[in-house]
Structure 1
Amino acid sequence: MPSLGSGLSAAATAALFVPAALGCNLGVSAAERDSLNFAGIGQYGSSADQVTSITQFSDVQPTDWAYQALSNLIERYGCVAGYPNGTYRGSRAMTRFEAAALLNACLDRITEVTDELKRLMKEFEKELAVLKGRVDGLEAKVAELEATQFSTTTKLSGLATFVVGANAFSGSAINAGANTVNRNGGHHSAPVVLPNATTFNYDVQLTFDTSFTGRDRLRTNLRAGNFGSSVFGGEPHALGLSELEIAFEEDAGPNIVAIDKLFYQFPLGQFTFTLGGRIGQEDMLALWPSVYPADTILNVMTVNGAPAAYSKNLGAGAGAWWQQGGFSISANYVASNGQSGNPSVPEGDGGGGIGNKFSGATGSVQLAYQQEQWGLAAIWSYVQPDTQFVPGTTPFTHGAIDHNLSAKTNALGLSAYWQPLQSGWWPSVSVGWGINSTSYSVPQPAGSLSTSQSWMVGLQWTDVFQKGNDFGFAVAQPVFATALTGGVTPNDGNYVWEWWYKFQVTDKITVTPALVYLSRPLGQQTPAGESFSQFGGLVKTSFRF
């Protein structure tokens, strides 16, 4: 309800109410007070004399300084009365009796409004009681949540994944009796035992995001799994290209909870800085230039067609990015052995550190541009041996350049994606290509890696057959040799395919059957004149909470 003084100018309010409030009679002498006609004053403000328009006052003109204030009081509140002769006498001093009469007229209007509110409250008494009950219930729930939450600054999210699957192997290089396949020399010259049993593995992640200012983030990721001995766990127990993106097992063994990531991220001006004792290269890039896949299967399909440049190296590191409009520039450094304090011995013997040849480090700079439907990026990475993940079919595969600590690689990657605004016949498209140049600080034997390449194409359709369900497939050639030292002709190459369909069972549960095919997973190490391929299937069930 508006206050009594709404619509009054400061001067009008003072003219009408200040005398009554102060208890004085401006401009009225004692003799005049004694001769007041109380009967006339009694008529002032009676209901019969209430006016409905300011034009009813013969002595009020539009040029008067309080004209608008009087007009508002009359038209909006109807609590202004004049004298019986149709005058307002605006220039005359007001007595306490007249002020009381005017105030009484306005209070009558207030009483009418109050009575109307009471009637409405009575009419909607049941609805108001229901609303009050709901508000009380919400307040109780909020109080309970505040009392039981483990932190006011930390958000917990979880992901648990089950994988049931198996692989079949074929080709002339297989020793069927020993269930092994030979390799053609190199660091891994020993036969590979083929893990073709059906397995049931799991991966669970708990992620804590803590903010201290509302704009920063401290991320702690706890993880456990038992993929180490599975064909889907990658090297050293299986073929590297078979590794699933979701596969995890702590170095100490299966079923052990470990810190997978721990880093702090904060903005400063137009820059975002990130540093941590265990951080991934991908955590320090302003744009990950791919929209494939909605549900990850093989790890090699998640590195934008340039596995050497986008190695997802994990360790101690720091980085920064700048963004404005659709443009971004990112730079970072990650040392997979950065926790060690001995720079003079190899990583396997407890060596490493930051900024030396045993660091297992990558340094990356990415330029990117992004719009609503598309994005593209160019990245350069300096890659040391012993980086954590460089999938391919050359000796580059395991620990980068076969643990040759005299090697260094400059990796360039170009990636792009496009996605439709709505689901339909057109899929999203993600493509990438990488080229890598490897050099050595000491002379190498003929046949050492000199140049390698990689590429990938991924397609994905959304809302297939049912809203929330997605289908996708990708084909790629992970890192394969295109030039070797000493004029040796490379005999490398391998095609990797994957197909998957994601069922959205509930908002938090998905089931994804998938097929994978690797045409030549040993690449350059496949024995001359021999063949070897791998075909696998799995069902992945994910629970998000």
Structure 2
Amino acid sequence: MKLFQKLLLAPAALGLLAPVAANAADVNIAGLSQYGTEEQVTSITQFSDVQPTDWAYQALSNLIERYGCVAGYPNGTYRGNRAMTRYEAAALLNACLDRITEVTDELKRLMKEFERELAVLRGRVDGLEARVGELEATQFSTTTKLRGQATFVLGANAFSGTSTQNSALPFNNNYNRANYGATVFNYDVRLNFDTSFTGKDLLRTTLRADNFFGADGHGDHTHASPYGYGLTFLEVATNAPTQNNVVEVNRLFYNFPLGDSFSVNVGARVRMDDAGMLGMWPSVYPADSVLDVFTYAGAPGAYNTSYGLGAGAGIVYNDVLGADGWTLSTNYVSANGGSGNPTLGTAGNGGIGTEASSSTSVTQLGYTGGKFPVIGGSAWGLAAAYAYSQNMPLAIGTPYASAISGTGFNGGTSSNNFGLSGYWVPENTGWIPSVSTGWGISSFTQTYFRTSQAPQANSWYVGLQWPDTFVKGNDLGMAVGQAPFVTKAGSAAGTATGVNNPIDSNYAWEWWYKFQVTDNITVTPALYYIQNYDGQFGKLNTSTGVRNATDNVFGGLLKTTFKF
């Protein structure tokens, strides 16, 4: 019932409630005159005979404070228990109607004054409703989210050293300057489509393209960006496309839970470090820093995430309660699992579980402890991983280590790889950085040098990161380590290459500072230095027999990342 209708019926209701109907003779004209002419009260406390315990106290207070249409008697009383005459009811009702009329007139005046603004606002609301309706009718999927990332890299390298006359192998400063000495501007674009059907599963489809590998029409490293080949390979680069500027399906896998503690991942394009493949990643050093050699937790042989991309599956047992607990995971990936030719050394060879499979299988046992600083308390983690690789070269390493691990897919080389990695994050960030470290060793059974003893390669790294350096949101970081280098070559023919006495060691450093320009844009200037860039091959001079030449690179870049 509308307010006005209620007010019209109020006199009748009041009359019915009166214990005795008053006629003209019963009306106290003097009292009514006093009631009607008394000045309106502004607070219920002005009534001496009204107490907060009275049952109608709140209703009377609202009439006074909201409408100001209640009057009392000259002696400061309200006389709430006294029967009301019809004349008194009419006087009260009239006073309230006058106040309501005043409010209504004021609203009409305001509506007229802002008539144009209200019309514009109404039009905007109507337009918004139409757009929402159109979006709901034409949206791609209610379960799919798009996450994109575009990265620009501008930089150059300066090569130095005495290795200039190696005629047998193209690993010397003259060769490096000629092929990788220009200033370059490269890009990488990734589009992730994440779909969930139950709220707990994940179907990921990733489209990716870049121009780090080589110029259009060339698939060899002589046309590669300096950031797409060798130890200067960047994490943001990819060696998957055979040409530049080619959009490819970089990821296609489905991850789903199996009970409360297990998760399973199956994919036609999946990598060993994707969701559901490993129970934990034993490093907090950011993978999107600079050099790719520092993104394998110190063990590129065990965590072969570069070449270990293809058809595969993994299962993870996770017993983490809060932030503490064990994880156990195992997975298998065949880089050429889409090929049906199981014959080793034949064009188009591959398959899953055949002798021609370029595959890797990783088993990891990890433990996480403590709590991250955002929750309270320091955090740490430790993991041991074993990987068996078949016909699979190292993810990254010196040219000598890469040659021993296999010149390419299906090279007939197998390896046993072990990694031990961990991290620690302090409770209070500041001058004390987070620390990530790791060590790896690989043992090869291969046909490249036909050795009677298994060659070996070692690697390690230490990564430090200072969050919120100078400005909140900006991070400072550095890392030092050695890419996989040959420490044991075995007995083999060809002493000219020094295989019986490996001198393949190298050292790499990187320093970077990430500016958080906006929530979606970061700018990262970085410097790096690699001593013995080509390892043992850069130290050898086959024309003179000298084995102490130097082969170094110092580089700088500016990386800008856009996330959307």
TM-score, normalised by the number of residues in structure 2: 0.68
Q: Separation in 2 of the partners of 1:166 and 1:441?
A: 34
CA shift in 2, pair 1:18/1:387, >3 Å: farther
SS in 1 for 2:397: coil
Are 1:514 and 2:507 an aligned pair?
A: no
In structure 1, what is the equivalent of residue 495 of structure 2? none
Are 1:413 and 2:420 an aligned pair?
A: yes
CA contact (8 A) 2:372 2:427 kept: no
Percent identity over paired residues: 32
CA contact (8 A) 1:19 1:96 kept: no
Q: Separation in 2 of the partners of 1:504 and 1:63?
A: 65
Q: Which amino acid aligns with 1:244?
A: L
Q: Which amino acid aligns with 1:391?
A: I
Q: Which amino acid aligns with 1:530?
A: R
Q: Which amino acid aligns with 1:413?
A: L
In structure 2, what is the equivalent of residue 222 of structure 1? 207
Worse overlay, 484-493 or 327-336? 484-493
Q: Cα distance, 1:477 vs. partner? A: 1.6
In structure 1, what is the equivalent of residue 309 of structure 2? 314
SS in 2 for 1:474: strand
CA contact (8 A) 2:285 2:436 kept: no
In structure 2, what is the equivalent of residue 494 of structure 1? 505
CA contact (8 A) 1:306 1:433 kept: yes
CA shift in 2, pair 1:207/1:196, >3 Å: closer
SS in 2 for 1:25: helix
Q: Separation in 1 of the partners of 2:546 and 2:166?
A: 18
1:290-339 Cα deviation digits (max 9, x unpaired)? 45458633211222212223322322334557554333636352413364
Q: Cα distance, 1:211 vs. partner? A: 4.8
CA contact (8 A) 1:477 1:495 kept: yes
Are 1:327 and 2:287 an aligned pair?
A: no
1:91-115 Cα deviation digits (max 9, x unpaired)? 5665666555444444444456667
Q: Cα distance, 1:132 vs. partner? A: 9.2
Q: Cα distance, 1:371 vs. partner? A: 1.5
Q: Separation in 2 of the partners of 1:106 and 1:253?
A: 84
SS in 2 for 1:46: helix
SS in 1 for 2:294: helix
The equivalences for 1:52-451 within 5 A come to: 60=50, 64-71=54-61, 73-74=63-64, 78-82=68-72, 88=78, 90-91=80-81, 98-111=88-101, 153-166=144-157, 168=159, 170=161, 175-176=165-166, 180-181=170-171, 195-198=179-182, 200=184, 202-211=186-195, 218-226=203-211, 227-228=213-214, 229-230=220-221, 240-264=230-254, 274-284=265-275, 288-292=281-285, 296-312=289-305, 313-316=308-311, 317-320=313-316, 322=318, 324-327=321-324, 329=327, 331=329, 333-337=331-335, 339-340=337-338, 342=340, 344-346=342-344, 349-354=347-352, 358=357, 360-365=359-364, 366-369=366-369, 371-372=372-373, 375-387=380-392, 389-393=394-398, 397=402, 400=405, 407-418=414-425, 426=431, 428-436=433-441, 438=443, 445-449=451-455
Q: Separation in 1 of the partners of 2:552 and 2:467?
A: 28
Q: Cα distance, 1:239 vs. partner? A: 6.5
Q: Cα distance, 1:340 vs. partner? A: 2.2
Q: Which amino acid aligns with 1:431?
A: S
Q: Separation in 2 of the partners of 1:198 and 1:280?
A: 32
Q: Separation in 1 of the partners of 2:119 and 2:345?
A: 66
TM-score, normalised by the number of residues in structure 1: 0.70
CA contact (8 A) 2:315 2:329 kept: yes
Q: Which amino acid aligns with 1:383?
A: Y
Q: Separation in 1 of the partners of 2:88 and 2:260?
A: 65
Q: Cα distance, 1:25 vs. partner? A: 0.3
Give the alignment's Cα RMSD to 1 decimal: 5.5
Q: Cα distance, 1:474 vs. partner? A: 2.8
Q: Separation in 1 of the partners of 2:274 and 2:552?
A: 32
Structure 1 alignment gaps of length 5 or more = 5-13, 183-190
